Structure 1
Amino acid sequence: MADTEEWGKPVERKGRLTVVLALATLIAAFGSSFQYGYNVSAVNSPSQFMQQFYNTTYTERYHSPMEENVLTLLWSLSVSMFPLGGFFGSLMVAPLVNKFGRKGTLLFNNIFSIVPAIMMGVSEIAKSYEIIIVARFIVGICAGLSSNVVPMYLGEIAPKNLRGALGIVPQLFITVGILCAQVLGIRNILGNSTGWTLMLGLTGIPAAIQLLLLPFFPESPRYMLIQNGDEKKATKALQRLRGWDDVDSELLEMRQEDQSEKAEGHLSVFSLLSQRSLRWQLISIVVMNMGQQLSGVNAIYYYADSIYGSAGVKESDIQYVTVGTGAVNVFMTVTAVGTQQNGDNHFEQGFCNPACLCLQETVTWMPYVSIACVIIYVIGHAIGPSPIPYVVATEMFRQTARPAAFMVAGSVHWLSNFIVGLIFPFLERGLGPYSFIIFAVICLVTLIYIWLVVPETKKKTFLEVFQMFAKRNKVELNLGDGDLPLKELKESPEDAQKATPF
């Protein structure tokens, strides 16, 4: 497709979804993001049988049954070791993506999926619940790396007009992974006393598929040009991804970004924290990632059966209600891919749950309303808070700052996730349905921040987004030869007025 001109001005060519781009996206998301979602929900349905295994193993060892508080603690650890591993995985993002590249890191990351899959698969034979806890930590490292690297990789290989849609694809595969775990967790399939070890071990299959197929697809052209300085390989990769030979305009934009960053070099986390030009971007990704995880949505995925049970749903119906919730989550995430929204006002969905759960013991039909409210809550999360932080984090930071920024965002994401996974069983025992009021307040605070501070980044280049934030950060962006990329502006009432929220 050739470029055309209108009124003497070149018309910008829009990128299309080529076969190479589509397959690279699907393989990266299935091999990595799918596992993240699968392991979030994999321990929910078989939790009853896994806890029985814990108790039986303990009794055989020590000739006395396990105390209830000890069992609750061990189960909380089994759940929360996954996000704790995710935190440590996030700390590994910057050094790995700078050394191995985006695609190379995804390939290396499969080690942290295949090994724990084998460990969890043989845990019952080994009569060791400790193996499960350790394996959950290791597979959490896999999720921590993939949740940061996949959006980074897709954001860098996608043309700017498709960046929003492709940026949400990892979240789509996370929700599909959750749904698959919920379906396999049905009692008549694998969510029983004989199938739960196989169910946990299946997480290694997507990793093996990615390990076989991803090497045939291009590395991020931005990584090869800006960080490796290899323009020839970057050009070839870009031509494969775009499906045409004329990629000069995109290469020019990459060179401009490279030129504007040369004075900064690769930013470490500590230097990132001290950069005035990145102040509001950093605050924004911290707030959005905290809001995403402390909204309580993972409490639903980790402990769905327990929550529906406390809401008065019949025990025989709980597994099907859980699957229905997962299906709605997938559907709404597909909707989010279609709309490509980069702003969101759905954090308030958390308000629906507390009142319904409080009334479930006095109103006979309230369990059905509770189910509806949980589904509404999941819908609100799926079309906004769930995918948007990853997309926006890719767009807010330029190439040299992106690995460190994802490291910070991922650390906040997984620490918040760990806190929810660890304390929710105790929170539920202490506060009951009122525990969701805490999540509702957090949703409201996050909503207000996003409404006031975060700008629209849809269909903007990385430099355009950086220029939008330069105003708020009171710095000046220059792209001329020999200029430092940023200049601080003097504080004045006029500057303060210019720095009002977008």
Structure 2
Amino acid sequence: MGCSRVATSFELIIISRLLVGICAGVSSNVVPMYLGELAPKNLRGALGVVPQLFITVGILVAQIFGLRNLLANVDGWPILLGLTGVPAALQLLLLPFFPESPRYLLIQKKDEAAAKKALQTLRGWDSVDREVAEIRQEDEAEKAAGFISVLKLFRMRSLRWQLLSIIVLMGGQQLSGVNAIYYYADQIYLSAGVPEEHVQYVTAGTGAVNVVMTFCAVFVVELLGRRLLLLLGFSICLIACCVLTAALALQDTVSWMPYISIVCVISYVIGHALGPSPIPALLITEIFLQSSRPSAFMVGGSVHWLSNFTVGLIFPFIQEGLGPYSFIVFAVICLLTTIYIFLIVPETKAKTFIEINQIFTKMNKVSEVYPEKEELKELPPVTSEQ
């Protein structure tokens, strides 16, 4: 994309952007799955939030470089677009040194020696027998299941509530209106009296708030748990959308109401960064076992990007039709998602993958993790190394 100006070809931007989108789609699914599989149980939540943290850092860096007096100008935009290649180059250089997922090696490749070596590299010590035993237990529990395709995933009763939960959470994450908030933010800042030339700095400040709160989520996810952060985050977003609706409706009659709108935008960003943004991808790793996890990420990623596209496509029409009441739509979605989480989604903190799936086994009203397979003997619980 950075060469498009020299090449005088806008087609180069379109093709490059398509390739960047494909890479982003793959990475958004593979990275959280990889980190979730290699993380020890006591750090799985924190490491699972890290991908979202770096996404927010990337957004903030783009907002800073995208300031008009930096690179968002006639001379700087090719450099701005070209900088997207820097992280990709770093990945190409560093990824060959990363160990393969121990779960992938043992469960799918049946190479226990390689899995043990990968665990020793990741942990920094030789005694990894407990974790190997836990992975072996997971392998035994789903031995006859084989690879579960997306089509098979939708047909398996034993994965019904896991699949529905991921669809609700990934859909709720985007349909709760996070992109609409950012879309509307500039207008809110302008209505509050922020000079037009300074709006870009306020927007970057909002991005900084997003980074700080996601950073906080890294440290509190193992303390408070996934379920509480989801409930807290969606509840904050719900309240922010409701108050923002009232503030937008009254901003022409009450002089200080635009400032309430700014508070609502920042509150929404805080709430979304605590739960709805980072937790759903983490839960995909936790509530599915190795054989179904890749397909679950395909479904979750598809719902995520389709919902993202839908909000971007229809929000201008919602705004035109409902005006200041546009965010009522997102408030309803936040409410419904919160109710679903409260009633259905269990806490997964400090549990092994097998223990989590045994919770869903009861919810799905089946006798074992995969009733479609042949009967397996009862397996004792295994505690992984902390």
Please report the TM-score for the alignment, with normalisation by the length of structure 1.
0.69
- Is the 2:361–2:369 contact (alpha carbons within 8 Å) kept by the matching residues of 1? no
Change (3 A) 1:365 1:195: farther
1:168-247 equivalence runs, <5 A: 168-247=49-128
Equivalent-residue separation in structure 2 for 1:445 and 1:311 (angstroms) = 31
Change (3 A) 1:320 1:262: same
Change (3 A) 1:312 1:273: farther
Q: How many residues align?
A: 366
CA displacement at 1:237 relative to structure 2: 0.5
State the partner residue of 2:381.
none
- Is the 2:150–2:296 contact (alpha carbons within 8 Å) kept by the matching residues of 1? yes
State the partner residue of 2:366.
475
SS of structure 1 residue aligned to 2:335: helix
- Is the 2:188–2:258 contact (alpha carbons within 8 Å) kept by the matching residues of 1? no
State the partner residue of 1:442.
333
Equivalent-residue separation in structure 1 for 2:319 and 2:57 (angstroms) = 27
Q: Deviations over 1:83-130 (max 9, x none)?
A: xxxxxxxxxxxxxxxxxxxxxxxxxxxxxxxxxxxxx22334445545
Return the letter of the residue paired with 1:357.
Answer: L
State the partner residue of 2:226.
342
Gapped regions of structure 1 (runs ≥ 5):
1-119, 488-502
Return the letter of the residue paired with 2:296.
Answer: A
Q: Does 1:402 align with 2:293?
A: yes
Identity among equivalent pairs (%): 66
Equivalent-residue separation in structure 1 for 2:252 and 2:166 (angstroms) = 40
Instruction: Judge which range, 171-180 or 348-357, deviates more.
Output: 348-357
Change (3 A) 1:267 1:311: farther
Q: Does 1:322 align with 2:203?
A: yes
- Is the 1:312–1:361 contact (alpha carbons within 8 Å) kept by the matching residues of 2? no
State the partner residue of 2:245.
354
Match of 1:456 among 338, 341, 347: 347
Gapped regions of structure 2 (runs ≥ 5):
379-386
Q: Deviations over 1:175-215 (max 9, x none)?
A: 11111111112221112232223212211101101110121
Instruction: Judge which range, 460-469 or 417-426, deviates more.
Output: 417-426
Change (3 A) 1:388 1:359: same
Return the letter of the residue paired with 1:171.
Answer: Q
State the partner residue of 1:266.
147
Equivalent-residue separation in structure 1 for 2:42 and 2:211 (angstroms) = 23
State the partner residue of 2:275.
384
- Is the 2:153–2:292 contact (alpha carbons within 8 Å) kept by the matching residues of 1? yes
- Is the 1:277–1:486 contact (alpha carbons within 8 Å) kept by the matching residues of 2? no
Equivalent-residue separation in structure 2 for 1:197 and 1:396 (angstroms) = 43
Equivalent-residue separation in structure 1 for 2:249 and 2:9 (angstroms) = 39
SS of structure 2 residue aligned to 1:162: helix
Higher relative contact order, chain-length normalized (CA < 8 Å, sep 6+): 2
Equivalent-residue separation in structure 2 for 1:365 and 1:200 (angstroms) = 39
Change (3 A) 1:191 1:149: same
Change (3 A) 1:425 1:478: closer
The alignment yields a C-alpha RMSD, in angstroms, of 2.1
Please report the TM-score for the alignment, with normalisation by the length of structure 2.
0.89
Equivalent-residue separation in structure 1 for 2:281 and 2:169 (angstroms) = 9
State the partner residue of 2:375.
484
Change (3 A) 1:469 1:257: same
Return the letter of the residue paired with 1:257.
Answer: E
Q: Deviations over 1:379-408 (max 9, x none)?
A: 000001011101111000000000001101
- Is the 1:292–1:385 contact (alpha carbons within 8 Å) kept by the matching residues of 2? yes
